[in-house]
Amino acid sequence: MRWQDCVERNPKVMVGKPVIKGTRITVELILERLGDGWSEAELLVSFPHLKLDHIRAAQAYAAAALATDEIVFLGDDAA
């Protein structure tokens, strides 16, 4: 499964934040809940439209987004 099969960005849905296709469940919400200690099972119960593949896709999307981040270090004089 590729994250592209489950995650989309549409300016008409949640102001363009990445969401699980066909829902208003954002990748951000999924990651926040996991970071707060929610289990995958708790997510699936709380959001009946969500599937385990969606959770995995959200994590893969976040990893891909971070992998393409460009980091620019400024010299000590720039601070």
At residue 66, the pLDDT reads 92
What are the extents of the domains in the chain? 3-69
pLDDT at position 71 is: 79
- In which residue are the tokens 């699980």 written? 20
Q: What is the pLDDT of residues 63-74, one digit of tens each?
A: 999 998 787 888
Tell the residue number behind the tokens 């999924």, with chain if given: 30
Alpha helices in the chain (DSSP H): 27-35, 40-46, 52-67
Given the candidates 3.30.565.10, 1.10.260.40, 3.40.50.10490, 1.10.10.10, the CATH classification of the domain at 3-69 is: 1.10.10.10
pTM: 0.85
User: Mind listing the pLDDT tens digit for each residue in 13-50?
Assistant: 999 999 999 999 999 999 999 999 999 999 999 999 99
